[in-house]
Amino acid sequence: MRLVCGLVLVLGGLQLTCALIRVAAWNVRTFGLSKANLLNPPNQDKAEILKLIATVVRNYDVVVIQEVRGRDLRAITALMSLLPRDITQSRPMRLKKTIPHPSRFKPRDNRLGANSAKRQNGCTSSSVYDHRESEPLPQGQQYQERYVYIYKTSTVKFLGDYQYPESNNKFVRPPFAARFKAVTESFDFVMIPLHAKPGSGITVNEINALADVVNTLPRAWNTQNILLLGDFNAGGAFLSAADRARLTLPANCQWLIKDDAVTTVMTNHPYDRIVATDYMIQHHVVDDTAKPYDFKTELNLSQNQAAKVSDHFPVEVQLKKKD
């Protein structure tokens, strides 16, 4: 497929922007202070893990990270420090803690950089990144997680977010939806992430409740371009035969990541999924691009190394304006 690219002049140089938009959801297992190497004493192995996480994140125009732990955003701040970031265009940093600049770390394998560049929608890019995050969920509980969107500001524009109410009692970690606009293609789309609670009879209820999230999106958004994605725990013991029999998706939606996908490092289960509206599939989903990203193979990692990064692969899909 021939990629259509446009040149955009920006302060400080020339920036390359591409028509394809690559989006993903990734459960970065227990992503908190320890994995971000923010506990004393610093650990070189964990510094390498954080670099690998950043390498994967740079593949995407938008990625929603799940299982972000901690009362504050120090782990995300550490990750953002390894991504290109234009401070003048971003919100003020919430913390004053100094994070080592990525130039201090030397790549172990030049192949990592080469592979990452090839996956930038076929183009190299000097894009900068920003992020938007939910509050810790569920509120008032000892164990909490956040949903965090990290997005490339040259290719997508953040338009708004919506937190599905906890008071509806349908989810342990209610979806935190966000709306973006593809800059060069001028179409908007909504991402609705879910990290479902695992358990037979529990997981299926949360997946089925996604229909209510779609139905309660802000009216002002007025879009049929909707992706539902994340660690649905939609496989293995968490989704029994009886659960599958009563599993339903929101109206006019289809699975893009299906039952035969392998989305985890250590098992063959398709826990992580992407679902899209029929309209989104017809007008914006690039055929045959919805799949897990096997960073173990792509980054030449051992099983042990990959598992330290996360027990889940990202699930991704490419978008464009088809007509």
Task: Say whether 195 is catalytic.
Answer: yes
Q: Which two tokens stand for residue 110?
A: 């030049």
Distance between CA 135 and CA 154 in Å, rounded? Answer: 26
Distance between CA 289 and CA 298 in Å, rounded? Answer: 16
CB 210 within 8 A of CB 192: yes
Distance between CA 189 and CA 221 in Å, rounded? Answer: 9
Within 13 A of 42's CA, how many CA atoms are on the CB side?
8
List the beta strands (DSSP E) in the chain: 5-10, 13-18, 21-31, 62-68, 129-133, 146-152, 156-163, 176-182, 187-193, 226-231, 253-255, 272-277, 291-292, 315-319
The conformation of residue 248, written as its DSSP 8-state character, comes to -
Catalytic site residue from 67, 131, 133, 145? 145
Q: Which two tokens stand for residue 279?
A: 């309209």
Catalytic site residue from 195, 269, 284, 312? 195
Task: Say whether 145 is catalytic.
Answer: yes
Name the burial class of residue 102, with classes exposed (0-12), middle (13-18) and buried (19+) by CB atoms within 10 angstroms of its CB.
middle
Enumerate residues 6+ apart whose C-beta is below 8 A from 15. Answer: 7, 8, 9, 125, 126, 127, 154
The conformation of residue 240, written as its DSSP 8-state character, comes to -
The conformation of residue 241, written as its DSSP 8-state character, comes to H
Which residues share a beta bridge with 25?
A: 64, 315
First-residue to last-residue Cα distance in the chain? 16
CB 181 within 8 A of CB 187: yes
Residues serving a catalytic function are: 145, 195
